[in-house]
Amino acid sequence: MQSFLKLARLMSLLIACASLSACDDVRVYGSVGYSNYSGYGGYHGGGMRTGVTVGGRIY
């Protein structure tokens, strides 16, 4: 019983600490990386492109 209570105390503290350390990150952009969004993740594709039409402001 004593060892169970010790374990329960330890788990409570660990859960509280883990929740605190992660909470502010998750609230804004942190949830993006944890979602199923696989990510544009920056452009790391092949070499320089030619022959493509890029848009831009018209007026």
Partner 1 sequence: MSAKRRCIAIGFLGAILVAACATTNINLPSVTDTPTGERLPGKVIWRDLLTHDAEMSQRFYAELFGWEFENIGSAAGLGSNSAYTLIRHNGILIGGMIDTIALNNKNDISQWVVLMSVEDIDAGVASVTAQGGEVLTPPTNLQQRGELAIVRDAEGALMGLLQTRDGDPADREPEVGAFLWDELWTTDVNNATTFYEEVGGLEAANWDIDENQQSDATYRLLKSGEVPRVGIMPNPLEDLQPVWVSYLRVDSPAAITAQVAGLGGRVIVEARPRPLGGEVAFIAGPSGAGIALQTWPLEESN
Which residues sit at the interface with partner 1, rule CB under 8 A?
2, 5, 8-9, 12-13, 15-16, 19-25, 27-35, 37-46, 48-50, 52-59
CA–CA dist 50, 32 (Å, integer): 32
Q: How far is the CB of 10 from partner 1 (least distance, A)?
A: 9
Least Å distance between CB 7 and partner 1?
10
CB of 37: closest distance to partner 1 in angstroms?
Answer: 6
Find the length of the chain. 59
